[in-house]
Amino acid sequence: MEYDQSKYKVRTWKNPMMLHWIVNPGLAFNELVLGQRVPKIMLIERNDSKSLQEKTFVPCPHCGTIHSGQKWSVENNAFKNWFGLYCDACGKIIPCLRNITSWVLMTLTYPLWFWLKDSRKSRWLERQPVRYKNLNLTNQPSPYEGRGWIRQGLYWGLLMWIMMAVIFPLIDGSGITVKNLLIGIPVWAVGGLGFGYTMKLIMGKGRASSQSI
């Protein structure tokens, strides 16, 4: 599928932010538990008068519909997308990236869930049309605005701490230790704040540009 590159920047897994979704082990929780997903292709409108959130679009490779990315904002359908992003125009699933850690965990636990996959996917698809009614697609404030970046950053740091100090040691057999738990708290708190502030700068870039014109 071809896109008007004079109007959109095409983002794939090679983009740093999308690559981050693939390699960050902490985001396996978001993907497997919360059902947050990132499409394989995103279009960013070449319009500096809008925020990144406003100018993000998701194309459906099946029917060609270009959806506003705000359909999958926190206020709408950011969660429960375990099988991918649902296209409410054609009823098919928009392909998404897979986090490496998620892939490893799913591979290791395959015997436990493979026989449930088809039935769960069918039930999930049946529920989707209702979720896409009466969505709020107006511009919504970024969760990183104001001091929101602190809350979001600490949340991200908490997930990373759980993954690195608790879940991974259980998986590799090294065991949970008090030392690693205590060291991880300041490390991931600082890392989380750094992540949150970086996201604040990225999400507000377009808005800042428009205000300076």
In the chain, where the domains are located: 1-140, 142-213
Residue 208 has pLDDT above 70, yes or no: no
pTM for the full predicted model: 0.74
Q: Can you tell me the distance from the alpha carbon of 143 to that of 148, in angstroms, rounded to the nearest whole number?
A: 6
* Tens digits of residue pLDDT in 32-67: 989 999 999 999 998 777 777 788 999 999 999 999
Taking residue 92's Cβ as centre, other Cβ atoms within 10 Å add up to: 14
* Tens digits of residue pLDDT in 1-14: 788 888 999 999 99
So what's the pLDDT on residue 71?
A: 94
So what's the pLDDT on residue 74?
A: 80
Centroid of chain to Cα 114: 24
Q: Can you tell me the distance from the alpha carbon of 207 to that of 48, in angstroms, rounded to the nearest whole number?
A: 7
So what's the pLDDT on residue 160?
A: 84
Residue whose pair of structure tokens reads 């449930």 in the numeric block:
116
Q: Can you tell me the distance from the alpha carbon of 146 to that of 9, in angstroms, rounded to the nearest whole number?
A: 27
Taking only Cα atoms into account, the Rg of the chain, rounded to an integer number of angstroms, comes to: 19
